[in-house]
Structure 1
Amino acid sequence: MAAAAAVLNALGYSGQLLEEGALAQGVEEGASSQHFTAACAWLVSQLNEVSLLEERLTPTTGPADAESFQLEVSGLLSELYCPYPSLTTGDPTTRLNDSERCLQLLVFLGSELQAARLLRSKRHPRGQHREPEDAGGGDGSAQTLGELQALCQAVGVGKPTPGIPTAQLFTELEDKIREAIAGLPEGTVGKPLLSKSLEPAQWEHLEQIQQAMCVEYECRRQMLISRLDVTVQSFHWSERAKHRGAAMGQLYNPLRSSLCRKAGVTLAHLLSAREDLSIITRTTSRSVREKTACAINKILMGPVPDRGGRPGEMERPMATWEGRRSGGERRDGGDRKDGGDWRQEKRRGGKGRKH
């Protein structure tokens, strides 16, 4: 009992189990205890922050949730390769009916968390510079955390505390969102575009599709940005632009720096998409042009010089044969420009012309 309390205290746990007599009562009740299951869920959430875990634990709200909690524990211990047979063998719904096994579970999860934190500190020592994580790379934990914090700020929940259970946080968010939607006029928020729940394997496949599309559109955005740079660079070639290069740069550089080649589209955008996004509208339709039309569209181009480029209107060039412009024997047998042929003069015994 003392070992489990010492481990929880060393890891920074500040829940109800540290109170006098609460730990003994919690392990005695096992999976039916809200405090015990909340402590296990806290350890797993902390472990998830420093390592890659797929399984999660949801704290129970009463004895009715004890069976589902023990099934989650069984999957978690299987992922962590737990070496204790008492926690991994037998009926998974009765493994936590003994207080010694509950204490063993707390100590095991605490030791796993300590080891994970130690390994992380060795990879990233204090004071060592760390590169910021890419929004589209890695395990996506930083991106998910940023989106969750933005959601909490938008609905007025506040920044989530590190020890709050995931189920409790999402319950508060759902209540706040439903309360905000209820105060809006009817029809303001449309129906979701994705209305079907997906299995974990389907979510993984969907994430792979999303990553492939991000790579594709990143290439397209980079191509468009390069074309823009080349076009703007061509404006500096004129004589008038040479004296206005600094002014042009002051206007263009802030706009250019705001362009990013990263797509920035995540699965969160899919979850928030409404059915109206599936309606395809022509960009030249009257309803769209009412919002996109501007004064520059009314400027007409004047006459421009004919640049040609029509092969059907051109005649085929005739082949021309020219003699050697320098001295030496001609090989085409043609007449010289002065009308004479030195071969004929030689046959007649002539000396030819002197050069």
Structure 2
Amino acid sequence: MAANGTDAAQPTVDEVLLDGVYDNLETIGYTGPLLNDDTLSTAIQQGLSSTLYKELVLQLCASLQQLCSLECRVSSPQVPEDLEAFQLELRSLLREMDCHHKSLMESVDVLGDYHKRLLLVDYLLSELMAARLVGQDEDMDTGQSGSIPASLSAILRVYEIKQPPANVTVKQIFDKIIGSTREAVSKAPPAHLLPSLLGQSLSAEQWDTLDKINISLTSEYEVRRKMLLTRCDVTVQSFRWSDRIKGKEEEFSRVYQSHRQQLSGSAPVSLSRVLAAKPDLLTVEKTNSAAVRENTQCSVNKVLIGKVPDRGGRPRETRPPPQMPAFKTRTTDSQDQRKGGGARGRGGSKGRVQGSWSQGKKGGAKGGSWQQDKGSHGNQQQGGGKQKQYFS
């Protein structure tokens, strides 16, 4: 009986989560009506039918979108038909934030029961406080963003620690923060926090190397993001050519730009992600898995394309190129014709030379032939001004 009494006195997981949600609401500076335990529990039980619960979830999502530069947006459901779209947007936001709660990621109905609704608020509150811890608050951006005083000030605000006096050392401040962190972790339910994926401490040189790797990868992925955004702009620009857009150019631009401005070309990934990484990051889901297809499937995927005419283009069906005619050796007649044509072209010069020698032989007087050639040569020299002879 004593054992049964002891077991009955132990709080349940939901009761521990509810106390943590109540404390976290006070930590983030919430001043609404949900600071009452009964009101908070009743709102979580009612779910989306409760205006207070719905406004709390929307406010937490909006704050995370602003601090973490998230691309997914969660819109407020105006009519009951929008509840399904609201849950899809909520799941997309959780997926972008790498939510480690399987009960929220694997189920289509994110807000199906009391435990899921309570777990969702607890997760959003934890992520919001973590975002402020890493220095993404707007107050830090206007001040010394990224500096040690601004980061420490943000951590102290999260743990509701008063600003230390000037004589307190940095070590004392960190000891106070570590003690508050351990106290907050001890209040979490069992197996609520997964172990860190890093598993060991890094030296200063390793952190410096990791920072250089992060800068290089951020620069590369920034180029890829800008390329995808450029493709998106070109694709949307091609829609303007449709006749149905005529007279609606301003409305078309307004609707597109309202979404386009939310897409950033830079990849906001910092070294704090290394410390926050969990073992579930090693699990990579396929793009065609059921969990992924729940967010990517649409009515267009169910349209089957009918038979289309065959346009060919297969390599095995193409005709071979025309062949060159076979090589043939030249015949003897063609060679003789070429020689004969050349002889006719040089017939005048050849005839004179042969004629001089033949006359010398036939006439029997060699001198006559030489005199004839000499006279002929003299006549050519005298008449050289009239016509040049390049061949004798």
Is the TM value for this pair above 0.5?
no
TM-score (norm. length: structure 2): 0.39
More helix by share: 2
Larger radius of gyration: 2
With structure 1 as the length reference, what TM-score do the two structures score? 0.43
